[in-house]
Structure 1
Amino acid sequence: MSDDALAAWCKVREQLDWCSATSTHPAPVHPAVDGLAAWIDGPVRLRDPDRADRLLAAMALSRVAASRGEPLTPTLLAGWQQLILGVNDVGLRRSDAFAKGGRERYGLTPHTWQDFAACLHQSADPSVPLPARAARAYLDIAFFHPYPDGNARLALLVLTHVLDSEGVRLAEVGPLQTTRYADDPEGALDLAALVSVLIRTTHRRATAR
């Protein structure tokens, strides 16, 4: 059996200096173009119009939650995931999950979902810079892999929710759509740095109008 990628991620997550990869950011940030909505109405809609409609509905729900200051919880995410998948009910996975053609295995222990809830709670930790928190939450979804399907879409919603909760929206999200690996600390910090760059770029474009 392959190594447990989730266990590897949890180890990487705790060892990283999340403050080292990001810089201060201006907030709030209001782009001329809503990058997430544009991505959904662009590449996603071209591939699957129904998927785009479901994802837009989930995005709207996530933004209502952000405007209310609702923290990330498994219960909150379940509501988004129902819209993403177009189902009436979703449940957390009950066995190991696999991704990347089976090369990554995400284990399941009696403590997995308790740990997952704790990680979601940390997305609001003010001692960690906002871009790093958003990137870390994205990777938490990717590697806890809570649902049998739709985790990549959920991860992007979670990242943008963390930003939106503090008044930040991105002008583009396409650069975030790259493969990430659970045992790659440099890649995790690179994602945090990328989020920081996208925030600065969005702010610069908005203020140049």
Structure 2
Amino acid sequence: MTVPDSLAVWLRVRRETAWHQAPALQPVPPASDGFRAWCEGPVRRRDPVRAKRLLAAHTLARADAARRAPLDFRLLSGWQREVLGVTEAPFRSNDAYAKAGRERYALTPRTQTDFATCLREATDAELPLAARAARAYLDVAFFHPFSDGNARAALLTLVHVLAREDIVLPEVGPLQTARYADDPAGAADLATLIDVLNRRR
């Protein structure tokens, strides 16, 4: 039996989610950089090489945010080369699967074009920043552009979108729970969680 296309489901959910109702984030000088603390703490204890690569990718993502580079696949691929320690990180060439095969992300002639369009919307000033960061995170998760490391790519994308507007979350651990393509309430809740974390100073 063919697993339904969860990417198509996500694109429908993405259109229907009430992103405009997300909270507005207030820039607050961070007490710490939660991504760096996560890498230097639990990630390093588990796998020092993984931590080193993530920190290198994080440095790139923050530098790209500082120069206000447009969010596109080329940018993500550069971060992903650091994450995976490889020379190339191309867009996947087949359908992708996650959650033990329960979600399938189809590859069609439109997939890369649709992904590019979604990434461009991360700078849509008509939406609250928390909504844009949450939506970009989920876009990467459900487009699943890489053959490996998509959860890390999604988190780096969220960090980048926030950093473009001088938001640095003091912790990122709570963001790392399973997200489902068919869950509009969960998508909206992610934006709310970003706001909650931003207030934890």
- Please state which band the TM-score falls in when normalised by the shorter chain: over 0.9
Q: Within 2, Cα distance between the matches of 1:191 and 1:6?
A: 18
**CA shift for structure 1 position 34:** 1.1
**Alignment root-mean-square deviation, CA:** 0.8
Identity %: 57
2:24 paired residue number = 24
**CA shift for structure 1 position 47:** 1.1
Alignment of 1:67-146 (within 5 A): 67-146=66-145
Q: Within 1, Cα distance between the matches of 2:29 and 2:15?
A: 32
Check whether the contact 2:38–2:171 (CA below 8 A) recurs between aligned residues: yes
1:166 paired residue number = 165
**CA shift for structure 1 position 176:** 0.2
Q: Within 2, Cα distance between the matches of 1:26 and 1:182?
A: 28
**CA shift for structure 1 position 132:** 0.6
Q: Within 1, Cα distance between the matches of 2:90 and 2:59?
A: 21
**CA shift for structure 1 position 15:** 1.1
Q: Within 1, Cα distance between the matches of 2:24 and 2:77?
A: 32
1:45 paired residue number = 44
User: What's the TM-score, normalizing by structure 2?
Assistant: 0.98
The aligned length equals 200
Q: Within 1, Cα distance between the matches of 2:189 and 2:58?
A: 25
1:176 paired residue number = 175
Q: Within 2, Cα distance between the matches of 1:23 and 1:93?
A: 34
Where in structure 1 are there 5+ consecutive unaligned residues? none
**CA shift for structure 1 position 114:** 0.2
Q: Within 2, Cα distance between the matches of 1:41 and 1:162?
A: 22
Q: Within 1, Cα distance between the matches of 2:132 and 2:16?
A: 15
**CA shift for structure 1 position 200:** 2.2
Check whether the contact 2:23–2:191 (CA below 8 A) recurs between aligned residues: no
Q: Within 2, Cα distance between the matches of 1:2 and 1:151?
A: 20
4+ residue runs over 6 A deviation: none
Q: Within 2, Cα distance between the matches of 1:197 and 1:170?
A: 10
Q: Within 2, Cα distance between the matches of 1:42 and 1:5?
A: 33
User: What's the TM-score, normalizing by structure 1?
Assistant: 0.94
Q: Within 2, Cα distance between the matches of 1:168 and 1:143?
A: 24
**CA shift for structure 1 position 146:** 0.1
The amino acid of 1:167's aligned partner reads: D
The amino acid of 2:32's aligned partner reads: V
